[in-house]
């Protein structure tokens, strides 16, 4: 499952005084099995970009290929300026519907605060909504609901008949995520899935997303404001600013760019600032330290006298 984004732009309210260029000339290749963190200041275009990937928003310019299928062909939101005959319009609408169904099966999108979109009277019915709409039979839908609930750690028998509205914030969100997983997407995109949760709820959701990626080989794209989480979990970071991609690299490489990131309203993990401060005080730590574990390892090597289990018995300022 690969996604190829070419010259993608999105303009809201085109041709009106409120016209806003939300993303401009985005080019990205996303390969099967990647775990991508998408970061950027509020308004940088993250949500606009991910909503294009399952056809929820029509691009103004550019193309998106999902496994080679062009999901944007003939869908530009600037096309309405062209005159088309009724039959042409009908043909386009039909084609669009077919493509969208195809792509929504493959690319699952979890919105920001998805729990606000829970609406059924039981958890089972809520999670069943998507797969039922795919036209699947009753037993297949039930199997998928069970599977999705297991994946997000909510017991099927204990919870299936309960109202989603009785749940805690973190549980509600997990039910909402289960509703997308029940479509068995190959790519899972989540827009700030941990926003507003307490630390425990946050860690649980992240651990479940990580497990989906590792065990089920799912491609994951996660929009986040937590640099710490992204340092721990993502293999690739895409940084956006004012509708454009500024960095696209491994978290280790991206978080070296402290000055540029700060200029665009972002930060690096706290531990990277600490490593930098220690280096100013005479240590020789790598400038690619982004997690606490990496800092501990690097410090152990440089503090043999203090840390009895230190690897480097010669002491001194070994570079890590
Ligand atoms: P992010 O998710 O990074 O905060 P968005 O994609 O939501 O960024 O927004 C990018 C730009 O598009 C912003 O300038 C925002 O104000 C504008 N925008 C977002 N959604 C809409 C909309 N529905 N109508 C008009 N402008 C929008
Ligand atoms: Mg957003």
Q: Does any ligand 1 atom lie closer than 6 A to the CB of residue 301?
A: no
The minimum-distance atom of ligand 1 relative to the CA of 49 is 6
- Decide: 183 and 105 in contact? Cβ < 8 Å: yes
The number of the ligand nearest the C-alpha atom of 46 reads 1
Look up residue 225 and give its two tokens.
Answer: 């404001």
Neighbours of ion ligand 2 (CB under 5 A): 47
pLDDT score of 103 = 87
The answer, yes or no, to whether residue 312 has pLDDT greater than 60, is no
DSSP class per residue in the chain: --EEEEEEEEEETTTSTT-EEEEEEEEEEE-TT-EEEEEE-TTSSHHHHHHHHTTSS--SEEEEEETTEESSTT--TTGGGS---HHHHHHHHHHHHHHHHHHHHHEEEE-SSGGGG--SSSHHHHHHHHHHHTT--HHHHHHHHHHHHHHTT--HHHHTTS-GGGS-HHHHHHHHHHHHHTT--SEEEEESTTTT--HHHHHHHHHHHHHHHHHH--EEEEE-S-HHHHHHH-SEEEEEETTEEEEEE-HHHHTT-HHHHHHTT----HHHHHHHHHHHTT----TT--SHHHHHHHHHHH-TTT-TT-S-TT-S----
The answer, yes or no, to whether residue 122 has pLDDT greater than 70, is yes
Nearest to 230 by CA among 273, 267, 258, 204: 267
Q: Does any ligand 1 atom lie closer than 6 A to the CB of residue 12?
A: yes
The answer, yes or no, to whether residue 42 has pLDDT greater than 50, is yes
Mean pLDDT of all residues belonging to the chain: 90
Tell how far the Cα of 54 is from the centroid of ligand 2, in angstroms: 16
Tell how far the Cα of 227 is from the centroid of ligand 1, in angstroms: 22
The answer, yes or no, to whether residue 209 has pLDDT greater than 70, is yes
Q: Does any ligand 1 atom lie closer than 6 A to the CB of residue 46?
A: yes
Q: How far is CA 188 from CA 105, 210, 219, 313, in A?
A: 11, 11, 6, 46
The larger pLDDT score, comparing residue 246 to residue 301, is at 246
Q: Does any ligand 1 atom lie closer than 6 A to the CB of residue 77?
A: no
pLDDT score of 299 = 92
The answer, yes or no, to whether residue 34 has pLDDT greater than 70, is yes
Tell how far the Cα of 267 is from the centroid of ligand 2, in angstroms: 18
Q: Is the pTM of this model over 0.95?
A: no
| Of the candidate ranges 78-82, 122-126, 204-208, the one whose mean pLDDT is the lowest | 78-82
Look up residue 254 and give its two tokens.
Answer: 């991206």
Q: Rounded distance, CA 258 to CA 200, Å?
A: 29
- Confidence band for 318, pLDDT divided at 50, 70 and 90: very low
* Residue-wise pLDDT tens digits, 222-238: 999 999 999 999 999 99
Phi, psi of 239 (to 5 degrees): -110, 125
The minimum-distance atom of ligand 1 relative to the CA of 243 is 10
pLDDT score of 76 = 59
Please compute the mean of the pLDDT values over residues 298-305 and round it to a whole number: 80
- Confidence band for 319, pLDDT divided at 50, 70 and 90: very low
* Residue-wise pLDDT tens digits, 45-83: 999 999 999 888 989 999 999 888 888 876 555 555 567
Q: Which of 9, 10, 12 to mutate to test the pocket of ligand 1 (most atoms within 8 A of CB)?
A: 12
Q: Rounded distance, CA 176 to CA 123, Å?
A: 9
Instruction: Tell me which residue has its CA closest to atom 17 in ligand 1.
Output: 22
pLDDT score of 308 = 58
pLDDT score of 123 = 97
Tell how far the Cα of 153 is from the centroid of ligand 1, in angstroms: 33
């Amino acid at each position: 499952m690969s996604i190829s984004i070419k010259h993608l732009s999105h303009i809201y309210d085109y041709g009106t005084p409120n016209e806003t260029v939300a993303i401009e000339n985005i080019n990205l290749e996303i390969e099967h099995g990647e775990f991508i963190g998408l970061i950027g200041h509020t308004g940088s275009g993250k949500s606009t970009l991910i909503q294009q990937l399952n056809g929820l928003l029509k691009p103004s310019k550019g193309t998106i290929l999902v496994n080679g299928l062009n999901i944007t062909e003939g869908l530009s939101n600037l096309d309405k300026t062209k005159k088309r005959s009724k039959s042409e319009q009908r043909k386009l609408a039909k084609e669009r519907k077919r493509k969208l169904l195809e792509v929504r099966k493959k690319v699952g999108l979890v919105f920001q605060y998805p729990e606000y979109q829970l609406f059924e009277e039981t958890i089972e019915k809520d999670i069943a909504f998507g797969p039922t709409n795919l036209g699947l039979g009753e037993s297949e839908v039930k199997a998928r609901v069970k599977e999705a609930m297991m994946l997000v750690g909510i017991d099927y028998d204990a919870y299936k008949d309960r109202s989603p509205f009785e749940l805690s914030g973190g549980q509600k969100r997990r039910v909402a995520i289960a509703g997308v997983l029940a479509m068995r997407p190959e790519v899972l995109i989540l827009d700030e899935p941990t926003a507003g949760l307490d630390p425990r709820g946050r860690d649980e959701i992240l651990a479940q997303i990580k497990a989906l990626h590792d065990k089920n080989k799912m491609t994951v794209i996660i929009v986040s404001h937590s640099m710490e989480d992204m340092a721990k979990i993502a293999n690739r970071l895409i940084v956006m600013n004012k509708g454009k991609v500024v960095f696209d690299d491994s978290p280790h490489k991206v978080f070296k760019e402290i000055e540029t990131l700060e200029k665009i309203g972002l930060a690096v993990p706290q531990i990277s600032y600490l490593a930098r401060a220690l280096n100013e005080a005479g240590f020789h730590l790598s400038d690619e330290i982004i997690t606490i574990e990496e800092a501990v390892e690097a410090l152990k090597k440089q503090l043999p006298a203090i840390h009895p289990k230190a690897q480097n018995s010669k002491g001194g300022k070994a570079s890590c």
